[in-house]
Amino acid sequence: MPTKIEKDAVSGRDTTGHEWDGIKELDTPLPKWWLYTFYACIGIAFVIFFLYPSIPYGPGYWHGVLGYSQRKMVDAEVAKLTAIRKVSLDKIGSLSFEQIKADPQLLEVAMTDGRITFAENCQPCHGAGGGGHIGYPALAAGSWLWGGTLDDIQQTVTHGIRSGDDDARNSAMPHFGADGLLKPAEIQQVADFVWSNFYGHKTEGQDTSAGAKIFAENCIACHGENGEGNRVVGAPRLNSHIHLYGDARETIVAQVTLPRQGVMPNWNHRLDPATIKAVTLYVHALGGGE
Amino acid sequence: MSRISKVESRLRTEQDAVQDHLYANRLRIYPKSVRGKVRTIKWAILIACLTIYYVLPWVRWYRGPNQPGQAVLLDLSTERFYFFGLELWPQDIWLLAGILIMAAVSLFLVTSLMGRVWCGYTCPQTVWTDLFMWIEREIEGDRNERMTRDAAPLNADTIWKKFLKHGIWLTIAFWTGGAWIMYFVDAPTVTVDFWIGDAATPVYVFTGLFTLTTYGLAGWAREQVCTYMCPWPRFQAAMLDDQSFTVTYQAWRGEPRARGKRVEGAPTAGDCVDCSLCVTVCPTGIDIRDGIQLECINCGLCMDACDHVMERTGQAKGLITWDTLARQAAKKLGKHEPIRFLRPRTLIYVSALTIAVIGLTTALLTRSTLGLSVLRDRAPLFVPLADGSLRNGYTLKIVNKSQTNGAFDLSISGLPDAKLAVAEGDPTPSSTVHVLGSSDEVKTFRLLVTARPAALTDGSQPVDFILRDTATGAQTVYHSVFMGPVGYSGGAH
């Protein structure tokens, strides 16, 4: 309790009894309209209680007479946005890639849709931004197995690779080691040749003629004379600095002996054609598009 | 009991009664009309302020086809502020902060020189209250008539006059609220849309809100705003000193105040005849003779009122005048004290203001209308390519703040033989990319840079993106980096 309440000489009012470094404060009453403003606020609070969801009781809560619900609001907003998106998605579905690219606004919608679709479906294997992982092609690099035009990419995404879809892209490298087509020593020789000639790990004075001969007899049909690969059959390019299963010599041996044959799902059972077109446009723009 | 002690005891009882209550009734103020020099100046400033406020949104300004044609427009929907020839983007909001700082320092300076003249003459609360009080006087009559009317029981005349007064107040308030909206949307368009019901909901909401606040604050709250709501009266004391000019009652001349004629041989009396006119004309209902106080808005209407009385009683005008505390103290002693406008306080405010003005003007004049920002891809950091070269992705934003479409050349320096390609565009890489930047827009696109840097010891090297306006030759540079594997050396094994 303040004890030093004094009467101020000028105003005739009491002080509050508090003192700070010699400064005292007058005990001036609050104007009544101020008080009534507080009462009005309390009154308005009760009106809002009545109109909107407010008081909880046991199993439920007072829903308010306006029937307001945030969940309903969200549903309505989502429905509104879905309707707006449907217009663009229908357009993307019906127009050709060239027509979509000619319409900057539609292209932006497609690229955004593609980016989200990619993140949800493709990123776990192909990496953020199509950076790729061992065994999963780097889409941003553009070293395509089956072609990098928009149509090629659309076909691959729609039907997949070795996916079991009727139109899936299929390629089967013979099991040269496992099926006894090449002897282990021959596999080592051809691996030496590929690693030094195509992968670029040349060793001075190394003789790779035996491996070259085996390569010419067994591999050039698909991988090409200079290891340039063949997209018609999905044969990877070998004369490259980047390789699906890594840069080590052992991977060549392993691949010739018993090839790993990666599978990409056919997305036509999960994504609608318009969304596939959108993700195609996105993948094409990652850097590898042709 | 003597008469004096009776009055004293009555006063004491009243004060005790007040003290007993936690809440105070509002004392109604009926300011009396007044004519004079100060009142004329106040009318002139009021007319000037209101004219600017109501007319400014209607001033047109041609900026080119498909551009807003309003001189002052704060277009929130497109995020552009227009002030005549100046167009501000959200990035330029610091200029607005600078203008606000300038306004604050100007207010400090004016207050340290002339007291609360802002409050008394130009504050919107004062201006609209003054206007509303004038309307009230014209309809209901002057002070005495209004007091009698309010004390008497309601009759038809009173009801009609109150109805008329509030009607006119509301009309002005509506006009005020509407004019406020016009600073944010095109004035002629919104005026038409408003009446045919085509305007956006916020237009109606804010017009209604500002109608109610204008009506409530200028018609009803009045001096309560200054006394109880506004923070400015509370910290004005920090800007005032004994050299600041304020509305001052010259107590040394006026006291002891006494009614009646000044006659030879009568007890000595000051110039103040205690007519209370200075109190009755005061819009905040205070007695200036009590000295400078919180409620005083420094409007000086009491000076006009007192001068009339001084004239009639044949005494010198200026019993209430503009003066400083220091000069008053000197005059009391019969000395002369010079006016001192230049003091450390005002000099500090003037320097701060000068620095702010110079800084802001320089910033405004050198403001570039071309901007470039480059955001490196985070994933992947870089992409090794089949031929051993490297590719980095960047997201570029070209900001064209001008009113003309621009053609730009984008190139990169610090990376020999770098090839650029716009991700969604022509995939054929080239050393320079041509970009079109529409007027008044931000163009965003992804750029792929392919290069074979000779050595990336740390895995990265600095590069500069250079954007050149092909028409004007204006250039802007953004520093970034090009990344690759640590120890990369030209892609050879």
Tell me the mean pLDDT in the region B44-73: 93
Which class for A44: exposed (0-12), middle (13-18), buried (19 or more C-beta within 10 A)? exposed
Report pLDDT for B74.
94
> What total number of domains does chain A contain?
2
Alpha carbon separation from B362 to A93, A226, B358 (Å, rounded): 53, 65, 6
Q: Where are the alpha helices (DSSP H) in B317-427?
A: 325-332, 344-365
Contact B465, B435 (CB under 8 A): no
- What tens digit of pLDDT does each residue of B275-296 get? 999 999 999 999 999 988 889 9
Asked if B380 is an interface residue toward chain A (Cβ–Cβ < 8 A), one would say yes
Contact B488, B459 (CB under 8 A): yes
DSSP B25: P
Whether pLDDT at B17 is above 60 = no
Tell me the mean pLDDT in the region B105-130: 95
The residues pairing with A57 across neighbouring beta strands, listed in sequence order, are A60
A272 shares its domain with A226: no
Residue A149 placed within a domain: yes
- What tens digit of pLDDT does each residue of A19-47 get? 889 888 888 888 999 999 999 999 999 99
Cβ partners under 8 Å of residue B209, min gap 6 = B177
Asked if A71 is an interface residue toward chain B (Cβ–Cβ < 8 A), one would say no
Contact A61, A55 (CB under 8 A): yes
A237 shares its domain with A268: no
Which amino acid is it at B51? T
Report pLDDT for B2.
46
Contact B60, B71 (CB under 8 A): yes
- What tens digit of pLDDT does each residue of B307-352 get? 999 999 888 999 999 999 999 999 999 999 899 999 999 999 999 9
Task: Place A283 in a pLDDT band, splitting at 50, 70 and 90.
Answer: very high
List the structure tokens of B59. 């001033």
Alpha carbon separation from A215 to A169, A205, A261, B344 (Å, rounded): 25, 20, 20, 93
A12/B15 Cβ within 8 A:
yes
Report pLDDT for B492.
67
Domain locations in chain B as residue ranges: 3-60+115-237, 241-332, 370-483
**Nearest by CB: B424 against A128, A201, A285:** A285
Report pLDDT for A237.
93
B23/A35 Cβ within 8 A:
yes
Q: Three-class SS of residue B295? A: coil
- What tens digit of pLDDT does each residue of A141-175 get? 989 999 999 999 999 999 999 999 999 999 889 99
Whether pLDDT at B300 is above 90 = yes
A117 shares its domain with A229: no
- What tens digit of pLDDT does each residue of A208-238 get? 899 999 999 999 999 999 999 999 999 999 9
Report pLDDT for B4.
47
A287/B393 Cβ within 8 A:
yes
Q: Residue B291: its chain A contacts at CB < 8 A?
A: none
Residue owning tokens 């929907």: B77
A203 shares its domain with A244: yes
List the structure tokens of A20. 């700070």
**pLDDT above 70: percentage of residues in chain B:** 95
* Rounded (to 5) percent helix, strand, coil in chain B: 45, 20, 35
Residue from A231, A220, A223 nearest A144 by CA: A231
- Count of Cβ atoms closer than 10 Å to residue B251 Cβ: 17
Q: Residue A240: its chain B contacts at CB < 8 A?
A: 386-387
Q: Where are the alpha helices (DSSP H) in B215-335?
A: 223-224, 232-235, 251-254, 277-280, 301-312, 325-332
Residue A135 placed within a domain: yes
Rounded mean pLDDT of chain A? 92
**pLDDT above 90: percentage of residues in chain B:** 67
- φ/ψ of residue B89, rounded to 5: -100, 165
The residues pairing with B437 across neighbouring beta strands, listed in sequence order, are B406
Rounded mean pLDDT of chain B? 90
Phi-psi region at B408: left, alpha or beta (left = phi > 0; alpha = psi -120 to 50): beta
A140 shares its domain with A268: yes
Asked if A259 is an interface residue toward chain B (Cβ–Cβ < 8 A), one would say no
Task: Place B266 in a pLDDT band, splitting at 50, 70 and 90.
Answer: low
Q: Residue B11: its chain A contacts at CB < 8 A?
A: 12
Report the 3 state secondary structure along B34-51: CCCHHHHHHHHHHHHHHH
Peptide bond into B256 cis (omega under 30): yes
Asked if A231 is an interface residue toward chain B (Cβ–Cβ < 8 A), one would say no
Q: Output B266 or A189, whichever has higher pLDDT.
A: A189
Asked if B385 is an interface residue toward chain A (Cβ–Cβ < 8 A), one would say yes
A27/B383 Cβ within 8 A:
no
- Count of Cβ atoms closer than 10 Å to residue A201 Cβ: 15
Residue B243 C-beta-side C-alpha neighbours within 13 Å: 14
ipTM: 0.81
A77 shares its domain with A206: no
Report pLDDT for A1.
55
Minimum Cα–Cα distance from A238: chain B residue: B386
Q: Residue B493: its chain A contacts at CB < 8 A?
A: 199-202, 241
Q: Three-class SS of residue B421? A: strand
Report pLDDT for B20.
57
Tell me the mean pLDDT in the region B235-242: 88
Residue from B276, B189, B34, B166 nearest B285 by CA: B276
Whether pLDDT at A86 is above 90 = yes
Residue A204 placed within a domain: yes
Angstroms from A38 CA to nearest CA on chain B? 13
Which class for A219: exposed (0-12), middle (13-18), buried (19 or more C-beta within 10 A)? buried
- What tens digit of pLDDT does each residue of B180-191 get? 999 999 999 999
Q: Output B27 or A271, whichever has higher pLDDT.
A: A271
Tell me the mean pLDDT in the region B454-471: 90
Residue from A249, A290, A282, A238 nearest A114 by CA: A282
Q: Residue A33: its chain B contacts at CB < 8 A?
A: 26, 224
Task: Provide the CATH number for the domain around residue A127.
Answer: 1.10.760.10
- What tens digit of pLDDT does each residue of A265-274 get? 999 999 999 9
B293-321: burial string, b at 16+ Cβ within 10 Å, e else = eeebbbbbbbbbbbbbbbeeeebeebbbb
Q: Residue A201: its chain B contacts at CB < 8 A?
A: 493
Whether pLDDT at B9 is above 80 = no
Residue from B358, B391, B357 nearest B376 by CA: B391
Peptide bond into B427 cis (omega under 30): no
- Looking at 3.50.50.60, 2.60.40.10, 3.30.1130.10, 1.10.3080.10, the CATH number of the domain B370-483 comes to 2.60.40.10
Asked if A34 is an interface residue toward chain B (Cβ–Cβ < 8 A), one would say yes
A273 shares its domain with A136: yes
List the structure tokens of B247. 């509305």
pTM of the model as a whole = 0.79
Report pLDDT for B455.
85
Tell me the mean pLDDT in the region B203-209: 96
Residue A173 placed within a domain: no
Residue from A99, A287, A92 nearest B424 by CA: A287
For residue A118, the enclosing domain spans 72-168+264-284
Task: Place B40 in a pLDDT band, splitting at 50, 70 and 90.
Answer: very high
Asked if A159 is an interface residue toward chain B (Cβ–Cβ < 8 A), one would say no
- φ/ψ of residue B394, rounded to 5: -135, 145
A111 shares its domain with A235: no
A157 shares its domain with A272: yes
Q: Three-class SS of residue B147? A: helix
Report the 3 state secondary structure along chain A: CCCCCCECCCCCCEEEEEEECCEEEECCCEEHHHHHHHHHHHHHHHHHHHHCCCCEECCEECCCCCCCCHHHHHHHHHHHHHHHHHHHHHHHHHCCHHHHHHCHHHHHHHHHHHHHHHHHHCHHHHCHHHCCECCECCCCCCCCCCCCCHHHHHHHHHHCECCCCCCCECCCCCCCCCCCCCCHHHHHHHHHHHHHHHCCCCCCCCCCHHHHHHHHHHCHHHHCCCCCCECCCCECCCCCCCCCCCCCHHHHHHHHHCCCCCCECCHHHCCCHHHHHHHHHHHHCCCCCC
Contact B96, B81 (CB under 8 A): yes
Report pLDDT for A8.
83
Task: Return the CA Rg of chain B.
Answer: 34
Residue A32 placed within a domain: no
Q: Residue A285: its chain B contacts at CB < 8 A?
A: 423-424, 446
